[in-house]
Structure 1
Amino acid sequence: MPADFDVVIVGAGAAGLSLAHHLCAPNSPTPLSVALVDAPPGPLRPPPRTWCFWEPPGGAYDSSLAASWPQLRVRAADGPCTVSRFSRLRYKMLRSDAFEALVERRLSLTPALCRIDATVSAVRDVPYGGEVLTQDASGESVLARGRLVFDSRPPRRLPPARTTLLQHFTGWFVRTERPLFDPATADLMDFRTPQPAHGLSFGYVLPLDPHTALVEYTEFSAAPLDADGYRRALRHYTDEILRLGRFHVTAREHGVIPMTDGHFPHRQGRSVYRIGTAGGATRPSTGYTFAAVQRQSRAIAAQLRAGRPLRMPLPYGRRARAMDAVMLRALDSGRVDGADFFGRLFRGVPGERLLRFMDGGSRLHEDLLIGLRTPMVPMLRTVVELPFRPRREGPVTLSSPSPISPISPTDHEESTP
C-alpha cells in the first residue's frame, strides 16, 4: 500500500513546526509532501511557552524575538557577580506564539503541506512506512500514512538512568513602577536564593525593558514544589533579594524539565523516529532544547530534500553526554556544591567558550580547559564510580516545559511597597 505523504509529523510544537518549516523550504531539489498532525484547539494543545537560546545576531527568527541580550550575569551566593560580554553571540528569548505565527505564515505559502487537526491515538510502523491513527473533533477516524513519520510528543516515561533530576521553575512576568532592569543584561543564575538541602536553586531575570522582566525561581532537585512553595520562593526573591518594590504580575509560567543521563531512543521502528525532547534534544545538564531542535531539523531536512537516505542526527555527541552524566551524578550525590560549581565555571571560563560547551559544540581541548575549572577530586571520583551504577527505570514525565498563563485585569497580583 503506498503512503499518502513523504513525511508525517506528529505535534506542532517547537520540534514539529521547525521540521515542517525546514522540509518545506522553497527550491528543494526533491519536493516533499508533508502532513503536520496537531491536536484540535482546546486543552490538548499546550499554552504559550518561552524558549531561550544563543546564536549570532541575524538569526532566522530574530524578527519574532521578545528580546535579546549581549551580556549575561551570574551572581554568587555571597553577592559578587560575573558579567560575560559577547561580541559574536546574543542570548535570545522567543515566545512560542510569535514563533508559531512566523512559521505558520511561511507554511501557508507551501501547497505541499497538509494540516490535520486531530487527536493521535497511535503511531506504528508498517511495511510501507509509518501510520498515524487519529480522531478529529467530530469523532471521525483519520489515518495519515507516510514513508517516514517523526513523532515529537513528549515521552510518557523517562528512560532508565543512573541519575535523574528535575529542573522545575515558576516565573512571573512583572511590571515595576520604577525602572529597575538593565535591558542589555540578563541574569542567567542568581545564587542569592536560599539553597535546598538537596540540589540547588537560583533566580533568573530576563529584562524586556527597564520596567518589565520575566523573573523566575528555579531548582535542580529530585521533586517539584507545590504551588505555595513556588509562590513563597518568588516572593522572597522579588521582595527581599531584588527589592522590586511595587509591581504587577501580568503572566505566569511554570515548567518541569527532566535532567537525566538516560538514553532517549531516536527510532521506534524502520520508519518512525522521535524528535525534540522525546528524541534527546534537551541538554541533560542545562535543560536547553530549542537550539538542538533547530540543528536536528535542519540536518533531517537537508538529507530528505536532497533525496538521500536518512541518517538520524544526534542532538549531542557522546563526549557531551558523558560529561553531563558526570555532572548530574556529582550534583545529585552532594559531592559538589551546585552554586559553587556553576559560579566557578562562569568566573573562570570565557563566556562564549562556555556557551559553546553548554550547547555541545566545544572542542576537546576546550572541554579539558573547562574541566580544570571544576572541583577535580569529586569529579574524578564520580568518573570512576559512574560505570558501576545501575540504570533504574525512569519516572513518568511530569509536564511539558514552560507553559505561560496570562493574568486577567481583575487577577493582577500586586506586591506590597
Structure 2
Amino acid sequence: MGGGLVDVDVALVGGGGAASLVLAALARHGVRDVRIAVVDPVHRRGHDRTWAFWDQPGNDLDDLLSASWSQVEVITPGAHRTLDLAPMRYAMLRSGPVYDRAAEAERRLGVTRIVAAVEALDDDGERVLVRTGGDRPVLRAGWVLDSRPRPPHRPGRTNWLQHFRGWWLTADRPMFEPGRAVLMDFRTPQPARGVSFGYVLPVDSRYALIEYTEFSPHPLSGAAYDSALAGYHELLGLDPVRCTVREVENGVIPMTDGPFVARPSPRVVRLGTAGGATRPSTGFTFTAMRRQADQIARALAAGRPPVPAPAYPRRHRWMDAVALRALDRDLVGGPEFFGRLFDRNPAPRVLRFLDGATTVAEDLAVMRSARLLPMVTATVGDAAGRLHHRLAPARRPAWTIPPPVVGDEPPGSAR
C-alpha cells in the first residue's frame, strides 16, 4: 500500500472542538510514541463558536475562560431565582484559546495534518483506510476518531432542535452585571410548539453575549431570530442606541431520543454529537465532549483502545426521552417544567444531573420535581413508542442537522 499512504495509530477525522479537546488531553496526559493524524478540510483558528458549561474551578480550562460565574439566574413569569452554584461554576469558553492549545499539542505530539474532506472510512477490523476522494486512500489508521456531524441512526420518537442566535454586545456605559449570568429567562414569547428563553453571559459591565434560544422542531428565519433578540433586549431594558453588535453567533443542535451509534465499526469511534455527547433534554454537549477526550487520552497513555464510555447513563437517556415527549405533546409547559426543576432541587444537583453525574437517589429526587400525571402519561407513551420502533422496519431520519461550516458541531454552538 505505498504511493504516499500515511500510516498512523490514531486518525482524528474532523478538527473542531471535539478533536481539539482530544489533542489537548493527549498532550496533558503525556501520551508518547503514538502516531497521530488530523484530517479536516479547514485548519480551525480564532473565535467561531462559544461553549457555556459548568464545572468545578481549578482545572486545565481555568486559563482559557472568557468569564465564569458562581451565581446564575433562572427566570419564569412571576418568579426570579438567583442560584448559588458553589462549589461549581458556570463558565464561558470561546473557541480561539481551545484551537490555540490544540495547535500547540499538535506540535508537541508531531501530528500529521491532512487538509481534505473525508469521503469514506473502510474498516476491515484491523486497520481503517481513510479516503478523501479518488481510488487511493490517503491514510491508514489503527483507530479513527470521527467527530463529523450526522443524524441519528434512525428517527427518534421525538425530534427537536436547540437553535439560537446570539449577539455579542458592547455598550457605551455599564449595563451588565458581571457577577452573575442569566442561565434561562422564560419571559420570552413561547412558541406554539416548543420552549423559548433568553440568556445573558456578561464578560464585564459593558460587554456580554445575549442569546435567544428555542427548543422546537424547526429553526427560524434570520429575521425571526433578530426580531426575537430585539424583543428580548427591550425586555431587559437595554437601550439599542447605546449598544453595538460586534459579532453574531448561530447554532443548531439536535435534541432527540433517536440513537447515535458511537461505534459504527470495530475501529471507528464517533465523538461529539455524532457519538452521543449531546444531552437530548437540553442540547448541552461540551462537558461530555471533554469527558470523552480525557477518557481517550488516558486509554492511549495506558496502551488501551481509545474507546470512551457512553456519554450518559442509560437511565438518563430514558429520562430525557420522557421529558422530551412531555414537552413535545404539551403535557407540561417548558417554563413550568424547568422552573420546578430548579425550585425543588439544589442547583448543583440539577447541573450534575444534566452532566450525567448524579446517583440513582439523586435521579429519583429530580424525577419527583415534575408533576406526576403528565410524566406518567409521557412514560406510557414512550414505552408504546419504543415497542413500535422495535416492531417497525428501520428507516432513516425524516430530518437532518443543518451542516456546519466544518468540524464537529454546528458553528457558534454555545452549549
The normalised TM-score by structure 1 is 0.89
1:13 counterpart (8, 16, 35): 16
Match of 2:127 in 1: 129
Q: 1:213, 1:311 → 2: CA distance?
A: 38
**1:46–1:403 contact (8 Å) kept in structure 2:** no
Shift of 1:393: 4.0
Shift of 1:292: 0.3
* Residue identity matched to 1:63: D
Length, aligned pairs only = 397
Q: 1:299, 1:26 → 2: CA distance?
A: 10
* Residue identity matched to 2:73: R
**1:129–1:270 contact (8 Å) kept in structure 2:** no
Unaligned runs of 5+ in 2: 390-394
Q: 2:114, 2:310 → 1: CA distance?
A: 28
Q: 1:197, 1:46 → 2: CA distance?
A: 37
**1:67–1:94 contact (8 Å) kept in structure 2:** yes
Match of 1:73 in 2: 73
Are the structure 2 counterparts of residues 178 and 107 from structure 1 closer, same or farther at C-alpha, using a change threshold of 3 Å? Answer: same
Match of 2:298 in 1: 302
Q: 2:125, 2:254 → 1: CA distance?
A: 34
1:180 counterpart (168, 175, 178): 175
Q: 1:81, 1:199 → 2: CA distance?
A: 21
1:270 counterpart (262, 266, 269): 266
Shift of 1:12: 0.9
Are the structure 2 counterparts of residues 351 and 276 from structure 1 closer, same or farther at C-alpha, using a change threshold of 3 Å? Answer: same
Match of 2:411 in 1: 403
Match of 2:392 in 1: none
Unaligned runs of 5+ in 1: 406-417
Q: 2:344, 2:239 → 1: CA distance?
A: 30
The normalised TM-score by structure 2 is 0.90
Kindly provide the CA deviation profile for residues 314-366 of structure 1, in whole angstroms up to 9, marking residues without a partner as x.
10110110100000000000000011110111122111111001111011111
**2:42–2:115 contact (8 Å) kept in structure 1:** yes
Kindly provide the CA deviation profile for residues 365-412 of structure 1, in whole angstroms up to 9, marking residues without a partner as x.
11111111111110011112211114474212124456359xxxxxxx
Kindly provide the CA deviation profile for residues 30-52 of structure 1, in whole angstroms up to 9, marking residues without a partner as x.
6311111121359xx99700111
In the TM superposition, 1:208-247 aligns within 5 A as 208-246=203-241, 247=243
**1:130–1:146 contact (8 Å) kept in structure 2:** yes
Q: 1:309, 1:141 → 2: CA distance?
A: 27
In the TM superposition, 1:368-407 aligns within 5 A as 368-389=364-385, 390-391=388-389, 393-394=396-397, 395-400=399-404, 403-404=411-412
Are the structure 2 counterparts of residues 399 and 121 from structure 1 closer, same or farther at C-alpha, using a change threshold of 3 Å? Answer: closer
* Residue identity matched to 1:145: R
Shift of 1:3: 7.7
Q: 1:63, 1:47 → 2: CA distance?
A: 16
Q: 1:377, 1:335 → 2: CA distance?
A: 9
Q: 2:30, 2:173 → 1: CA distance?
A: 51
Structure 2 counterpart SS, 1:353: helix
**2:156–2:257 contact (8 Å) kept in structure 1:** yes
Shift of 1:212: 1.1
In the TM superposition, 1:29-44 aligns within 5 A as 31-40=33-42
Q: 2:47, 2:296 → 1: CA distance?
A: 27
* Residue identity matched to 1:19: V
Match of 2:142 in 1: 147
* Residue identity matched to 1:258: P
What RMSD in Å do the two structures reach over aligned CA positions? Answer: 2.3
Structure 2 counterpart SS, 1:403: coil
In the TM superposition, 1:340-351 aligns within 5 A as 340-351=336-347
Q: 1:202, 1:144 → 2: CA distance?
A: 45
Q: 2:27, 2:141 → 1: CA distance?
A: 16
Q: 2:154, 2:51 → 1: CA distance?
A: 24
**2:18–2:147 contact (8 Å) kept in structure 1:** yes
In the TM superposition, 1:155-194 aligns within 5 A as 155=150, 159-194=154-189
Are the structure 2 counterparts of residues 404 and 386 from structure 1 closer, same or farther at C-alpha, using a change threshold of 3 Å? Answer: closer
Kindly provide the CA deviation profile for residues 210-238 of structure 1, in whole angstroms up to 9, marking residues without a partner as x.
01110111111111111111111111110
